[in-house]
Structure 1
Amino acid sequence: MEKKEDNGNKSYNYKEIFKESLFIGDSITDSLSAYEVLDERNVIAKLGLTAVGAQKEVINIGEGNFSKVYILFGMNDILMGISDEKFTQNYIDLIHIIQKKLPNADIYVQSILPVSPKVQNKKPALNNLKIEEFNSALIRMCKDEGINYINLRPILKGKENLFEPDGIHLKYAFYKEWLNYIINNNSQQ
């Protein structure tokens, strides 16, 4: 299939394209359903959720018959002060639960998104250096576990305007760019 032009402004029928996909994450992922970009059945996410907290949230996912699972955690884990080793172990435990529930699903771990530089003043523990350290640990984990890794960072490169005023959360326009990026660069072809 021919690659589509990577145009963040293009709009697809995301609910149809991702109808057999499940997105798991924190408040950033939760906005996929809050903004009604995807149906609620395709999103397991909530404010403050971590990789370890998600293990309790995925109990019934086998009932959804999902063929693709996209996971995005890290910011809340970093704010908890855990090491990147503990973070990746929590992530692996979550992935193993998902693999048991959905043995035929392709799993995609997504990079932790950068934050706006102004966040460092309000939450010094959450900075882009720490995020890069955790992303490097995720890359190693994915390689070791044979899991797909998607680097989402290019979506926000030079696009400070996509951040909400808190410098962490993202505006509505980001969500279409995020899904377009997945469609055009990764796993939906």
Structure 2
Amino acid sequence: MKKNTYKNILIIGLFLLFQHYTKAQTVQWDSTYRPAKYVELVNKFKADPKSKKDIVFLGNSITAGTDWAKLLNLSQAKNRGISGDITFGVLERLQDVIDGKPSKVFILIGINDISRNIPDSIILRNYKMMISRIRKGSKKTQIYFNTLLPVNSAFEKFKNHYGKDEHILWLNDEIRKFAVKNVTVVDLYPNFTDQDKHLRAELTKDGLHLIPEGYQVWADFLKKTGYLN
């Protein structure tokens, strides 16, 4: 009896240790996160007059950080960026964009998903859902999908975003495949990398967000490629 008791204790101990190890190895992520100003900004976007001539820039703080109409000298350019947003947040507010039936929509989203450990496969699935929903709800809207920008860890300000370059590279490779689905791929990534494949220091203030010089590189690229025509 005593021998069996020790054996049972050992088995239970090993089981609990296994559970602890497995839990430690499981990366937790949350699809329900929304930035503090999410609802406020979504309501503001809904109240904004819409036109079928609109060119919508949809994304997170990187998109939100400039005045697109002024930058591009296009009055129909609409900023739909929300700082801190993730792909689930974009999907939640996408219907308002679809209902406006804009002429073009430029999407850049995903770096915050990466920082929050949302699996690459889930991010990619959400990208495909965005494309599918726009295609179904606004057939004449041209979809432009941006590759993710690199980051620069030398600034040491957004540590959750750093050290995850392999995720950026994998998602960008998948985004480039959208071209065969009649989606225009805006390959921003090569325009913003230095020789070490980091975000060019002269274009950022913190290794993640762009300064005016960075947005000018973006604008020049859009104009050069004819994506705004």
TM-score (normalised: structure 2): 0.64
Look at both structures and tell me which one has the larger radius of gyration over its CA atoms.
Answer: 2
Percentage identity across paired residues of the two chains:
25
Aligned to 1:155: 191
**Following TM superposition, by how much is the alpha carbon of 1:181 offset from its aligned partner in structure 2, in angstroms?**
0.3
Higher-RCO chain (CA-CA 8 Å, sequence separation at least 6): 1
Q: What is the CA distance between 1:154 and its match in structure 2? A: 2.8
Distance of 1:143 and 1:88 partners within structure 2: 14
Q: Structure 1 regions of 5+ residues with no counterpart? A: 1-18
Q: Per the alignment, do residues 63 and 93 of structure 1 end up closer, same or farther by CA in structure 2, a change over 3 Å counting?
A: closer
Alignment map for 1:13-162 (pairs within 5 Å): 20-33=54-67, 37=71, 42-118=78-154, 123=159, 126=162, 127-140=164-177, 142-143=178-179, 145-158=181-194, 159-162=200-203
Mean alpha-carbon deviation: is it higher for 54-63 or for 74-83?
Answer: 54-63
Compared CA separation, residues 100 and 32, structure 1 to 2 (3 A): farther
Aligned equivalents of 2:54, 2:76: Cα separation in 1: 12
Amino acid at match of 2:92: K
Q: 1:183 to 1:121 in 2, by over 3 A?
A: closer
- In terms of fraction of residues, the more helix-rich structure is 2
CA–CA distance in structure 2, aligned partners of residues 82 and 143 of structure 1: 24
1:14 aligned partner: none
Choose which of 196, 211, 216 in structure 2 pairs with 1:176. 216
Assess if the C-alpha contact under 8 Å between 1:162 and 1:170 holds in 2: yes
Equivalent residues of 1:163, 1:170 under 8 A apart: yes
Per-residue CA distance 1:56-95 (angstroms, 9 max, x = gap): 2222224534211110011111012122211110111122
Q: Does structure 1 retain, via aligned residues, the 8 Å contact 2:150–2:193?
A: no
